[in-house]
Amino acid sequence: MASEIFIATSGFYALLVRGDDRHIRAAEVFREAARKKRGLVTTDYVLDEIATLLVARGYTAVLANFFNRVRESEACRVDWMDADYFEKTKELFLKIPPRRWSFTDCFSFIIMKELRLRDAVSKDSHFKTAGFTPLLI
């Protein structure tokens, strides 16, 4: 199997919201990943963040289906925060200048580094700053 791809909050949002400026590109990335049998990885923190964002922007109708699809997916794995990951994430978060990266971003970067992932379905330039390739920029 080809290497896995990380899915960040902005990647899920772009895929789920047709009006997003990167929706078409996000759909292409997901189709290409399926064709190449690239696994997908996200975190429980990203799922929390996307759920909150969708509700805040009025897209609550997609939530139940979204959660079900992620839970039932064989292609997408969710890595969960535990005490070890919390400590690693906290250390990274405290090292960076205030408000540069969110705690969720730091957890994402820890997971990506540990899994040796390079690509992220993300529109956020801080993935590039952290040394990864955001596929929606």
pLDDT in tens, the chain (137 residues): 458 999 999 999 999 999 999 999 999 999 999 999 999 999 999 999 999 999 999 999 999 999 999 999 999 999 999 999 999 999 999 998 766 899 999 999 999 999 999 999 999 999 999 999 999 99
In the chain, where the domains are located: 5-80+116-134
pTM for the whole structure? 0.94
What is the number of residues in the chain?
137
Written as six digits, the tokens of 41 are: 């990885």
Residue 27 half-sphere exposure, CB side, CA atoms within 13 Å? 8
pLDDT attached to residue 121: 98
pLDDT attached to residue 96: 86
Fold of 5-80+116-134: Rossmann fold (3.40.50)
